[in-house]
Structures are given as C-alpha cells and as structure tokens.
Chain A
Amino acid sequence: MDLAALVALNVVNGAASLVLLCLGLAIIFGMMRIINLAHGEFVMLGAYAAVISANAGVNIYIAMLIVAPLCVGLVGLIVERCLIRFLYGRLVDSMLATWGLSLLIVGIVTTIFGNTMQGVPTPLGGFSIGAYRTSWYTIFLAAVALVVLAAIYGVLRYTRFGLVARAVMQNPEMAAVLGVNPARIYMATFSLGAAVTGLAGGVLAPVSGITPVMGGAYVAKAFITVVGGGAAIISGTTSASALFGLVNQLGAYFTTPVYGEVILFIAATVLIRLMPQGISGRFFRGTI
C-alpha cells in the first residue's frame, strides 16, 4: 500500500516535470507554429540563472521562481526580435535557425561558465510514507506545475490579452483587420513561452546535473509530448504529460529504465498514428 502511494507519487512527479517542460514549448509551437529546437537550451539557461543567482546569495525560491523565468523571458524577447520574427510561416527555416541558436547558446554558456557548474542543494528535505522515503520536492514540483497551468489558463481564458492572443492564433489576418498587431502579440507570446520554459529549468535545477548540454536530455521528450497533446495548449499538454508520465514511470518501475524509455516512445508513436491531431484534436475540441 505504501509502495503503491510512492509509485503514484512518482507518476505525478513524472507528469508534473513534463507539464513544466512542455508548456513553454506548447505556447510557442501551438500559437506561432515555430519549432523551437533551442527549447532545451532555454531550460538550461533557466537552470543556470537559478543556480548562479542562488550561489550569489539570492533566496533559492526567488532564484527559481522569479529570476529564472525573468532572465529566460528576456532572452526569449531578444531572440524573437533578432531572429524568430523573420521566420514566421517558414517552418523548416525556423527549425534550422533555432538549431543553430541552440549550438550558439551552448557555446556561449560553455565559454563563460565552463563544462560543469556548482549546483544548489535541494531544498525541503524528505518525508516518509510508511517504510518508504521520498522528497517534499516532488510535491513542490507538482504544485508549481498546477499553479503555472492555472495561471496560463486564467490569462488565456479571462484576460483581454488572452482573448487577442487566441484570436491571432486562430486567424492572424482577421485579427489584424480588427486592429490587432499580430507582430506584437507574437513577441509577447514568444517571451511568455520562453519565461515558462525558464521557470521549468529553474525548478528542475536542484534535482538535475547542471551542464551546458543538459537541454539535450529534455528536448525530444518535450516535442513528443507537445505533438502528442495537439493544438490546445492547456488540455493537450496536460493530458499528454499525464499519459506519457504514467507510461514512462510505470514502465521504468515494472521493467527497467531502458524499457521505460522505449515504452514511452512506442506509446507516443502509436498515439500519433491513431490521433494525428494529438489528444486534444480528438477529445478536447474547443478547449484551451
């Protein structure tokens, strides 16, 4: 029984990490059809921002939850103005450009900070479920994921900005005719997506190995989840993250970590074959 609770917690943890990792990508991909191959590097920048500011004496929670998204949001803004805005509607070009960007970011970070980085200790400590121990941090990750989901849902559903952003996403020309400047909305949503990704990097920093190439471990899973989720940002990402988190963690638990990964990718392949529009293209139509 205790063990079942622990395994359930692992599943929640796996799904929560996926939600955090994918939301920023879903915003950028879902709204602007830009395939951001530098997504993993945005995660890495968020982790570096959190770790560097925490080591400089900033409170760990401020570093993770405020400094990291602000820094990466700013990077996203610069990247959008200098690079991405020339590439809307050019899918293949945007992939090439953002791939180059990812190499550039890795190169810059390696040059400045070297190949390894002093990490931060994991806050909060552990607790027991019966005879088993796990960390409060897994609960914290799940809570952050929930709050971020709620916040983005709130913004998209109840604010004027959200309404306009959704309008631009559906039909940029029509929105422009009605007096909205799509370029400005794209700029804002790209920065928002980058900031959410930075937040993910920040909160994952205390439980990850911090290196300039750490983004590579996340990017494939993030893309699969976003594509598996489909066009709806919140419902698609949440459902795909829950599914893949469940499959991956249970697979790793009942077989081996190697098969855990294999089962995840097989599940994703089958899912996309059966539902080319993603989960939200079939089940949650008309949601955000």
Chain B
Amino acid sequence: MTFTRRKFLKTTMSASAALAAPAISTRYAFGAEDPIKVGSLLDQSGAIASSGVTMVTAMEQGIAEINEAGGLLGRPLQLIQYDTQSNIQLYSQYAQQLALKDRVDVVHGGITSASREAIRPTFDRFRVLYFYNVLYEGGVCDRDCFCTGTTPAQTVEKLVPYAMKNSGKKAYILAADYNYGQITAKWMTKYMQDNGGEVLSVDFFPLDVTNFGSTISKIQEAKPDLILSALVGGNHVSFYRQWQSAGMKDQIPIASTTFGLVNEPSTVDAAVSEGIYGCYGYYEELETPESTAFVDKLKKRWPQIPYISELTAATYEGLYLWAEGVKKAGSIDRMKVIEALEGGVSFKGPSGEVKLDPATHHTVRNAYLAQVKDRKWNVLETFDAVPPSDTAMVCDLSENPDDNQQYVIDIKS
C-alpha cells in the first residue's frame, strides 16, 4: 500500500480533529454555567508566606460567599490560586500561565512591590484586569490595574506628625532595600519636612541582613528623637529585638509602616513591641460589626489563623469591589468592567466604606492610627474616607487613559 502525501495529510488531519474534538465541544457545551475564573497569585511558602497565607484565606472566603449568594451574573466563581513561593521568577511564569493558559477573567495578587511590577506588564500586554490589594508606596497609574490598599498619603501622612508630636523633630529612617522601602523612605522624608522636622539619615537594608549592631551604634551617635521604620520581613524583625536588648527601647520611640502587618506584635516579646506606632487601613482589633463578622468568618474557616491585618482585609475588599464592578457592568468583559468601576463603586467591608477613585484607580478608605499595647494594637485615632492624594497629585486616568507608569515622588533634600 502506498502512502501518498494527500493520504497522509487526510489521516493526520482527521486524527487531530478527533483528538481536539472534546476540547472544542466542552468549550461550548456549558455556556452560562461556565465559571468565571478568578486568578490569584499569592505566596504560600517562602519568606513572604506569613503575609500570603491569610490573604489566600480571605480570597477563598470571599469567593465562597459570592458563590453561596448565587455567583455573579448567574455564573459561579472559580478560584485559580498559584503559590508563587516568594519567588519573583515564579510570579512572571504563573502570570503568563493565568493569562494565556487558564484565560482568567481577573487577577488579584502580588504582595511585595517587586512582585507587582513583575506581573503588571504581563497583564497589561495580555489585557487581563488586575487588582493589587496591598498597601504600597503609591504612584501606580495604569488603567488596567486597580490598587485597593493604602498609600503613604493615607497612612504615613498621619503617622509621621503624630509620632513627631509625641517625640521630637529629628528622625532616623530605616527601610528595606527594594522599591517599597526606597520610595516609602522618600515619603517619610517629605512628611517630616512638611511638618518642620529633619531627617538625620536614611539607611537601607538588604532583606537578608540580620545583624543590626552597627546600625544601632550609628543611631545612638546621630541622637534622633524618633525612628521611622519601613523594614520588611522576618530577618528584619531582628532589628526590633536587638534594639530592645541594647536598652534603647525606652529612649527613642519607633513608628513603622510595616511592623505589625503580619503578626509581629504577638510573636515578639511585649517589651520589644510595646509603644510602637503604626497606621494602617485595618486592624483585627477594630470593633465595627463588619470587622468582627469578618474576623469570625475567617476564624471559622481557619481556627489557627495568624493576625488578620490590612493585607487580608484589603484582599477581601478588593475581590468585592471587582464583583460590584462586574454586577454594574452586567458583563465580565474587561473594558466594560473597567468603565463600570470608573463609574464609581463602593463596598462596606471590614475596614469601613471603601470607594474606588476613578481618576487614580486607587481607593478612598479609612485609616487608623494605633499603638502596640500589651501585644495588641490599640487604635488611637480614626480618619474617615482618606483620599489617595499622593497618587492623585500625579495621576489622572480620566484625563490620560493611556498613561501607564509608576510615578515616584521627587524630594529636595
């Protein structure tokens, strides 16, 4: 039997059609029952896992609630979460997988600013709607991206003057050596200067520094009235412990934009954490009905859940803001959802009313100033509906919808 080219083509084509048939037919078989795919990229292992695991719980909780209430547009939600293992390379890889293979309708995720900047261009390129639900240094201006956490104008602006009022005008800044720490240190400097203060020195630390002995000597030599800290991660917790063991704890107060975001107040000794100031969008200790209900629900889902911080609350609220946008748009089409979200949506979540700001794609939300007392956050002041004015200074997506960059504040020192 001869095997001509034509015959070969015929057989291989029919064979491949037969192989592909189930894929094609299932794609059209379900129609309306097809789940809406929600992608999520969060670290469940590695150095950032202590932040990531509670955020995943919040995602699961939010998705389960929406599905119990009948889903969105009559379709259930399906969560596709990849463990990015605190590894930026895996962020890039899984972002492509979510966009191209899983073809998700929205992605919520990213924890560090480095991870956000690794995946944001991918979602821009493949036109996937992206939500970043973490407090960060501000300035991202991108129509495809919504940043629902707090920014320095919402927190650092309140924290710095309060801490200055209770200490003095000279500050020493310690920050992690990557984009979050670098830019946050600039905001700290700005708010110190705006309030008539002076920054004596800004020191950056790679994330694997564990010995802070020489820094503690330098701080003592500089004699500041106040320490401002944007130190990140488990290794940097060493600073607070070495600071206390040198007996400096009662001499110079600390205000931090990161301490207590995971569960530092409950893992370090009371003597180490007592009196540290913080300002975030949410604390587990808030006693509003929405907050206590949220904490109860998460504790039911995971009885041993570590501290529930702004990271967890903002993740939950970010998911609901997106859901509000989909409901309003009546579609999961990316552009229709973006336009609906820009029409102004809000959600009353555990941290209070959260409203999307159309011009910046950030949120107007409450901020809370607190101080660690007896290993818990003691909320001292509440600021209602604080706008993301830092990003608003530079970013207006209703004027320039094609803008796509992260603005960095310029400080004259």
Which residues from chain A sit less than 8 Å from chain B, CB to CB?
A: 3, 6-7, 9-10, 13-14, 17, 107, 110, 114-122, 124-128, 131-135, 137-138, 204, 206-211, 213-214, 216-218, 220, 248-250, 252-253, 256-258, 260-261
Query: Is the CB–CB distance between A216 and B214 below 8 Å?
Result: no
Q: Which of B50, B210, B262, B267 contacts A119 (CB 8 A)?
A: B267
Q: What are the residues of chain A within 8 A of B268 when measuring CB–CB?
A: 119
* A246–B217 CA distance with the chains assembled, in angstroms: 15
For B53, list chain A residues within 8 Å (CB): 115
Assembled-state Cα–Cα distance A209/B243 (Å): 13
* Minimum CB–CB distance for B211 against chain A, Å: 6
Decide: A258 near B204, CB < 8 A? Known: A116-B234, A211-B50.
Answer: yes
Please name 30 pairs of A and B residues whose Cβ atoms are closer than 8 Å in the assembled complex, sorted by A: A9-B213, A10-B213, A10-B214, A13-B211, A14-B211, A14-B213, A114-B306, A117-B267, A119-B241, A119-B269, A121-B269, A126-B246, A127-B247, A132-B221, A133-B251, A135-B245, A207-B241, A208-B210, A208-B241, A209-B233, A209-B237, A210-B234, A211-B50, A213-B47, A214-B210, A217-B208, A249-B213, A252-B215, A257-B215, A258-B204
A residues less than 8 Å from B45 (CB atoms) = 107, 110
With an 8 A cutoff between CB atoms, is B248 at the interface? yes
Q: How far is the CA of A125 from the CA of B245 in the complex (A)?
A: 5
Contact yes or no, A135 B263, CB < 8 A: no
B218 near A253 (CB under 8 angstroms)? yes
* Residues in B232-270 with C-beta less than 8 Å from chain A: 233-238, 241-242, 244-248, 251, 262-263, 266-269
Q: Are B263 and A116 in contact (CB under 8 A)?
A: yes
Question: A-B pairs with the 3 shortest C-beta distances?
Answer: A126-B247, A209-B237, A211-B234
Structural contact, B245 and A249, CB atoms closer than 8 A: no
Q: Are the C-beta atoms of B210 and A135 separated by less than 8 Å?
A: no
Complex: chain A residue closest to B53, CB-CB = A115
Tell whether, in the assembled complex, residue B205 and residue A125 are in contact, meaning their CB atoms are under 8 Å apart: no
Interface centre among A14, A204, A209, A256 (most CB of B within 10 A): A209
B272–A121 CB distance below 8 A: yes
Supposing A216-B47, A257-B205 touch, asked if A116 and B218 sit within 8 A by C-beta, the answer is: no
Q: How far is the CA of A21 from the CA of B234 in the complex (A)?
A: 19
Q: B214 → chain A, closest Cβ, in Å?
A: 4
Q: Which residues of A contact B210 (CB under 8 A)?
A: 204, 208-209, 214, 217-218
| Residue B49, interface by CB 8 Å | yes
Does B46 touch A at the CB level, under 8 Å?
yes
Q: Which residues of B contact A134 (CB under 8 A)?
A: 213, 216-217, 246-247
- A-chain residues with CB within 8 Å of residue B49 when the two chains form the complex: 110, 115
Q: How many residues of B are counted as interface, with CB atoms below 8 angstroms from the partner's CB atoms?
A: 48
**Contact status B235-A3, CB under 8 Å:** no
Cβ of B209 < 8 Å from any Cβ of A?
Answer: yes
B205 pairs with A209, CB closer than 8 A: no
B381 in contact (CB, < 8 A): no
Quote the shortest CB–CB distance from A105 to chain B (angstroms). 13
- Select from chain A the residue with minimum beta-carbon distance to B249: A126
Q: Are A207 and B220 in contact (CB under 8 A)?
A: no
Given A125-B247, A134-B246: A207 in contact with B304 (beta carbons within 8 A): no
Q: Which residue of B lies closest to A257 (CB)?
A: B205
- Cβ of B217 and Cβ of A258 under 8 Å apart? no
Once the chains bind, are A133 and B248 in contact (CB under 8 Å)?
A: yes
Q: Which residue of B lies closest to A125 (CB)?
A: B247
Which residues of A sit under 8 angstroms from B401, Cβ to Cβ? none
**CB 8 Å contact bits of B215-230 with A (1 = contact, 0 = none):** 1111011000000000
Residues of B260-288 at the interface with A, using a CB-CB cut-off of 8 Å, are 262-263, 266-269, 271-272
Give Cα A134–Cα B47 distance, bound, in whole angstroms: 29
Whether B211 pairs with A135 at a CB distance below 8 angstroms is: no
Given A135-B247, A210-B234; 5 other pairs, CB 8 A cutoff: A10-B217, A133-B220, A209-B237, A253-B218, A257-B177
Docked-complex contact B267 and A115, CB < 8 angstroms: no
A118 pairs with B209, CB closer than 8 A: no
In contact, A209 and B242 (Cβ under 8 angstroms): no
Complex Cα spacing A165 to B296, Å:
59
Q: Does any Cβ of A come within 8 Å of B206's Cβ?
A: yes
Contact among B86, B206, B217, B263 with A253 in the assembled complex (CB-CB below 8 Å): B217
| A126 shortest CB reach to chain B, Å | 3
Roughly how many angstroms separate A214 CA and B47 CA in the complex, as a whole number? 8
Asked if B50 contacts A116 (CB within 8 A), the reply is yes
Residue contact A135 to B242, C-beta cutoff 8 Å: yes
Q: How far is the CA of A249 from the CA of B248 in the complex (A)?
A: 20
Q: Shortest distance in angstroms between B365's beta carbon and chain A's nearest beta carbon? A: 26
CA distance A250 to B214 in the complex (A): 8
